[in-house]
Structure 1
Amino acid sequence: MSLLEIDKLNSFYGDSHILFDVSMRVEANEVVALLGRNGAGKSTTLKSLMGVVQAKSGTIRLDGRDVTGTAPYKLARAGIQLVPEERRIFGSLTVHENLVLAAMTADKPLSFDAVYQTFPRLDERRRNRGKQLSGGEQQMLAIARAMIRDPRIILLDEPFEGLAPLIVRDLMRVCKGLAERGHTIVIVEQNVHAALSLAHRCYVVNNGHIVYDGTPEHLRTERDLVEKYLGVKT
């Protein structure tokens, strides 16, 4: 039994059908990359898993338990954390206050020391307000805020978007560290090479359909598929 199983998920925005019979599985301690062009349905998949977008049909199981239609706050308590593309940190609060707020509703939060050891840059800026941080620092805070709740699964939506290469490198190091410590991660990312370097397995989405399910190593050999659906030449 997989930690997370999605079976024939169909999601809509209003009358627009976005996801078509999407099926996926995520094993414990695994990093899964969800790849595809803009508008392919990747972020909608994460939002459907988090209950932000309610699926019209299909099943979502966490540890074998049906959680389809469960409210986002209940899924968060069950151990799923979404780091949204918009980050949504509290700009008027300090770094530390953002973390305190996230930890307050967690059953067994990680220590602040553990989080700051993972993000030394945030440790240096713990008294800075969220709006005073750079884009990369805000992304670190968004991930740290999820991490402090010690979730079973972290959903990362475009964590490297719009960031300088040096910041992407730092965040890659953090994500690899989280994976090595056994965190289960589902990552949506336009930076295909970065995502594949992190992932154990990957899915490719096109127009709301899963068109590939396999390992990064095998995907790299599928040059026509990579160029057609991801716009990347290998």
Structure 2
Amino acid sequence: MMLELSGLTAGYGSTPVLHGLCMLVTDGKVHALLGRNGAGKTTALRRIMGIVPAQRGSVTFTGQDISHWSTTKIARAGIGYVPEGREVFATLSVRENLTLAGRIGSGEWNVNRVIALFPNLGTRLNALAGALSGGEQQMLAIGRALMTSPRLLMLDEPAEGLSVQMLHILRNALVELKSAGMTTLLVEQNVSFATAISDRVTLMSRGQVVWDGDAEAFSIAGEPRRQFLGA
């Protein structure tokens, strides 16, 4: 098991957002974490990364309890995180954004491999990240996370605001990563996009899991989709 969340309770200040969250993410699979706005999906990712402090429960990554590790240590352990909004370094070039994140001597991911995954970035290496389109910035944000050579890639709303063409490019890239064995935890509002590439789905509501199962089963689970997603 790549990642296990057990009884996670976490939030901001005295306001809890997660209430005993439990979830298993399997090695080499794409796992979609779905739910309405405010369900706690982003908080779950931030808790995994150590950005939101621990209250109760545990986060286990590749057999190690990382519940109280620093964000830096968690990233170095092999979790790549692409937050909602991309957060690229706007005043640095595409190349600089990528090389700053690279692991010296790791050999797994480099600028050429990122360009092979996202050819659009190949012609924009010297462009400032702030001058890129929204879709190109999303590619860059994912590429920057991949430059850390992660074992687990976590994406928060990567499809948000993208054109149909960019959605197609992103989908193909995530399928390619999956074929290469990358484990991915995907938080997404675009349900059809998420379920098309996912192996498993966890549905959240009010900080708790309300449904969990294979993506194929979720695609025909009409009641939870209507009740918790309005779909």
Name the TM-score, length of structure 2 as normaliser.
0.97
Give the match's secondary structure for 2:102. Answer: helix
Give the match's secondary structure for 1:156. Answer: strand
Kept in 2, the 8 Å contact 1:60–1:67? The answer is yes
- Structure 1 residues 7, 180: closer, same or farther in 2, change over 3 A? same
Kept in 2, the 8 Å contact 1:36–1:204? The answer is yes
Which residue matches 2:230?
A: 231
CA distance in 2 between partners of 1:39 and 1:76 (Å): 25
Which residue matches 1:41?
A: 40
What 5-or-longer segments of structure 2 have no aligned partner?
none
CA distance in 2 between partners of 1:230 and 1:69 (Å): 32
Which residue matches 1:26?
A: 25
What letter matches 1:169 in structure 2? H
CA distance in 1 between partners of 2:4 and 2:35 (Å): 20
Kept in 2, the 8 Å contact 1:108–1:149? The answer is no
Q: For residues 44-193 of structure 1, what are the structure 2 equivalents within 5 Å?
A: 44-104=43-103, 107-193=106-192
Name the TM-score, length of structure 1 as normaliser.
0.96
CA distance in 2 between partners of 1:204 and 1:51 (Å): 22
Structure 1 position 96, deviation (Å): 0.4
Give the match's secondary structure for 2:55. Answer: strand
Structure 1 position 111, deviation (Å): 2.4
Give the match's secondary structure for 1:55. Answer: coil
Q: Deviations over 1:100-128 (max 9, x none)?
A: 10015684551221111111000011110
Which residue matches 1:195?
A: 194
What 5-or-longer segments of structure 1 have no aligned partner?
none
Q: Deviations over 1:125-184 (max 9, x none)?
A: 111001110000000000000112110000000000011111111111111111111000
Structure 1 position 86, deviation (Å): 1.9
Q: Deviations over 1:23-62 (max 9, x none)?
A: 0111110110000001100011111111111120001111
Kept in 2, the 8 Å contact 1:34–1:202? The answer is yes
CA distance in 2 between partners of 1:166 and 1:55 (Å): 39
Kept in 2, the 8 Å contact 1:204–1:212? The answer is yes
What letter matches 1:68 in structure 2? S
Give the match's secondary structure for 1:115. Answer: helix
CA distance in 1 between partners of 2:160 and 2:115 (Å): 23
Kept in 1, the 8 Å contact 2:79–2:151? The answer is yes
Size of the aligned set, in residue pairs, is 231
CA distance in 2 between partners of 1:170 and 1:28 (Å): 24
CA distance in 1 between partners of 2:151 and 2:162 (Å): 27
What letter matches 1:66 in structure 2? D
Kept in 2, the 8 Å contact 1:106–1:149? The answer is no
CA distance in 2 between partners of 1:105 and 1:213 (Å): 38
- Structure 1 residues 130, 10: closer, same or farther in 2, change over 3 A? same
Give the aligned CA root-mean-square deviation in angstroms. Answer: 1.2
Give the match's secondary structure for 1:7. Answer: strand
